Amino acid sequence: MAGLELLSDQGYRVDGRRAGELRKIQARMGVFAQADGSAYIEQGNTKALAVVYGPHEIRGSRARALPDRALVNCQYSSATFSTGERKRRPHGDRKSCEMGLQLRQTFEAAILTQLHPRSQIDIYVQVLQADGGTYAACVNAATLAVLDAGIPMRDFVCACSAGFVDSTALADLSHVEEAAGGPQLALALLPASGQIALLEMDARLHEDHLEQVLEAAAQAARDVHTLLDHVVRQHVCEASVLLGD
């Protein structure tokens, strides 16, 4: 059997998108009432929830408190039914820990942590359905949740993945495209300044192509920003209507 053709001669990807197009993104803020901030995002079939608690007192050992800024604590977990084959545990495995760490690094770069010294901010993300680009979906959801919690940030953090097939950079890889085993790049961008909060690259890619892939990911992240910005504005509008302004 012939393998999957990731990019047809006509320039269409397996799911019908063109190289630079994102999947359909839908998002909502304020999903839960009990948490300080929460958000839900769908990027195609990848669905993630993010919840933020804090800033609050340090939980557990006080020694962890940082004198000059807030401690950002992240946990990534992915529902046992989220993947094609059932996962045995939702979190605590190596991949989840790594994701948690990456999220933490990403948000330490974005949240104005020095405004809340000696306190803690919890960001919990939960992947409900995984179809590629889970890291990006989590970052985007977490951005909305942090905004929902009213925690000051330098900028949005917008993330997107990109791959490289047949000398073409593909934005926002789906699971099939990821599974094909080509190079993958995950990028978290602070769109206003164009600064990179996180960059991760798997598999080998020729140095000459890096710029092209990076640009595709950055462009996709900027597109994500436009969408998220819209979601936030919509949410604020709705909230103010409810408040009766």
Of positions 129, 153, 196, 214, contacts another protein by CB under 8 A:
129
Residue 245 in the binding site for another protein (CB under 8 A): no
Buried b (16+ CB within 10 A) or exposed e, 70-87: bbbbbbbbbbeebeeeeb
Residue 40 in the binding site for another protein (CB under 8 A): yes
- Total number of residues that touch another protein (CB under 8 A): 67
Task: Provide the residue type at 98 as one letter.
Answer: E
Buried b (16+ CB within 10 A) or exposed e, 120-142: bbbbbbbbebbbbbbbbbbbbbb
Nearest to 155 by CA among 103, 112, 123: 112
Beta bridge partners of 42: 26, 47
Toward another protein, which CB reaches closer, 115 or 230?
Answer: 230
Residue 124 in the binding site for another protein (CB under 8 A): yes
Toward another protein, which CB reaches closer, 16 or 245?
Answer: 16
Task: Tell me which stretch binds another protein (CB under 8 A): 40-48, 149-157, 191-199, 233-241.
Answer: 40-48
Distance CA 75, CA 97 (A): 7
* 168-171 vs 119-129, strand pairing mode: unpaired
Tokens of 119: 């306190």
Distance CA 171, CA 217 (A): 6
Residue 223 in the binding site for another protein (CB under 8 A): yes
Cβ 75 to another protein shortest distance, Å: 5
Residue 28 in the binding site for another protein (CB under 8 A): yes
Toward another protein, which CB reaches closer, 40 or 135?
Answer: 40
Toward another protein, which CB reaches closer, 2 or 63?
Answer: 2
Distance CA 219, CA 85 (A): 32
Residue 17 in the binding site for another protein (CB under 8 A): yes
Tokens of 200: 């991760």
Residue 77 in the binding site for another protein (CB under 8 A): yes
Cβ 11 to another protein shortest distance, Å: 7
Residue 242 in the binding site for another protein (CB under 8 A): no
Strands of 168-171's sheet in order across: 168-171, 158-165, 184-190, 195-202
Cβ 16 to another protein shortest distance, Å: 4
Residue 96 in the binding site for another protein (CB under 8 A): no
The residues of the shown chain that bind another protein, judged by CB under 8 A, are 1-2, 5, 8-12, 14-18, 21-24, 26-28, 31-35, 38, 40, 42, 44-45, 47, 49, 51, 53, 59, 73, 75, 77, 79-86, 90, 92, 122, 124, 126, 128-129, 131, 167, 174, 176, 181-183, 203-208, 223
